[in-house]
Amino acid sequence: MKTFFNHLHAQHQGKVEMFRGALVPCFEVPARADHVLAELQRRPLGAVLEPQAFGEAALTAIHSPRYLRFLASAWDQWVALDAANADKDILPSVWPTRTFRTDIEPDNFAAKMGLYSYDAGTPFTSGTWVAARAGADCALSAAQAVLAGDRAAFALSRPPGHHAGADFFGGYCFLNNAALAAQHLLDQGEGAGIKKVAVLDVDYHHGNGTQAIFYDRPDVYFASIHGDPRTEYPFYLGHADETGSGAGWGANLNLPLPRGTDYATWAQALETALAGIEKFGADALVVSLGMDTFEGDPISGFKLKSGDYLRIGERLAKAGLPTVFIFEGGYAVEEVGINAVNVLQGFTNP
């Protein structure tokens, strides 16, 4: 299995985030991806490659041009306000909520940050755009490898992506790598017989951005197994009654589970998700591979153990679909490499 690694990911390194009413050191750190890379070097499953560079059209297939322009220019705008800002990360402080307009981009920088974000836990740094842009290339390169005939490929990058919507960031995410990969499979997949794609999100936190992007689409099936949004981030999306709208009705499946869920219960939800994907008739699969379902994760609440991830990989392999794996969350830093590579190993050597 080819791995496309973002060598620029460490350029995004937030200092602090808002967590439970306090500014704390960021949970989403460069060591996350580095531990996965080290484990892949210890247990090689295939080549680790630089991603191909893709043009802006691949990004605008998912994200709005206005949003992309903001991401690309945000740091320069921030420093232009005050040269001392070069030593500070950007955190939003005001947001448009119900009844506020979002169609007009404000001139005020703080208002722009609020327009394009939804939480105060996602710092924007001097290297955020560079890292996120290279991460998108990793996701697109992994999709391209599958289109070229590989059974599976892995995009190893950070920041993660599944909380990012078409025109907003949050949850540590800026560009939605899973959505970009899924769209690329559809746009370029005619010769490979790919007309329908499924996105399976196994991160502890609901992939609200991915759901929102594809919610009215009949060609992408989104299935997510996650912590119950009544108590778990991102709170406002991910309920079981969200099944799609318009042409996409029936192509969205949410499987929220309570804190404390163990592997036996989680695996039953996986079977339900894969049954839905099979019924949908997907020709390819994108997996948002979040490892924060692990029992030792500091900001999550499931009880999966390291050995369980081998079984997850084995079960995904049995689905028999060309598969793109996208690295998402997982904040038990010392174990994240073992757990992620266990999935890939289980898939590669079932």
Cβ density class 245-276: b for 16+ within 10 Å, e for less: eeebeebbbbbbbeeebebeebbebbeebbeb
Distance CA 201, CA 214 (A): 13
Residue 121 neighbours by CB under 8 Å, 6+ apart: 17, 18, 19, 170, 171, 172
Do residues 277 and 320 touch, judged by C-beta distance below 8 A? no
Q: Which residues pair with 5 in a beta bridge?
A: 156
Residue with the two structure tokens 């740094």:
125
Q: Which of 9, 12, 163, 205 is catalytic?
A: 163
* 226 catalytic residue (yes or no): no
Distance CA 312, CA 203 (A): 13
Find the distance separating the first CA and the last CA of the chain, reported in whole Å. Answer: 13
Q: Which of 171, 169, 213 is nearest to 328 (CA)?
A: 171
Angle, CA of 136, 86 and 106, to the nearest 5°: 70
Residue with the two structure tokens 């500091």:
298
**Catalytic residue annotation:** 163
